[in-house]
Amino acid sequence: MQQKADLWITGAFSTSPTGGIEALAGLISVHLHLQKMAGRANFRAATLSDIHPLRLILSQDHHKGTQPHPCAISQMSEAFKRKVKGTIMEIDRHLPELTESFKPVASEARPGA
């Protein structure tokens, strides 16, 4: 589908190489776009409030002093953690990579500031 869009944008022939047409059209490939969106979704969890239900499911470092859920990552054994795959595990693994701190209700975000 993306190749058809590239051909339509550039007016190239259908036998033209797909990578070159994508570069000329200024479009990134689908797998890179999905990877970018997944990375942003992981870091979006950092902006959640301290009492958000998602934080109760994450590991001990991300609870911020609240009681963890009985099915939380911090309650799992190491062997079970290695078997489990999914979005929550990705968020828990990539949140320590975030170096910038976020405040869900920042003083700059209030009206009039």
Answer whether residue 6 shows pLDDT above 80: no
pLDDT value of position 102: 66
pLDDT value of position 66: 73
> Which helix (H) or strand (E) is 37 found in, with range?
helix 30-44
pLDDT value of position 63: 67
pLDDT value of position 38: 85
| Annotated domain spans of the chain | 1-47, 49-100
Which tens digit of pLDDT belongs to each residue from 32-72?
A: 888 888 888 877 887 777 778 888 888 777 766 777 778 78
pLDDT value of position 70: 81
Note the helical H segments in 1-113.
2-10, 18-25, 30-44, 53-57, 78-83, 87-94
pLDDT value of position 64: 67
pLDDT value of position 113: 64
- With H, G, I as helix, E, B as strand and everything else as coil, classify residue 26: coil
Answer whether residue 104 shows pLDDT above 70: no
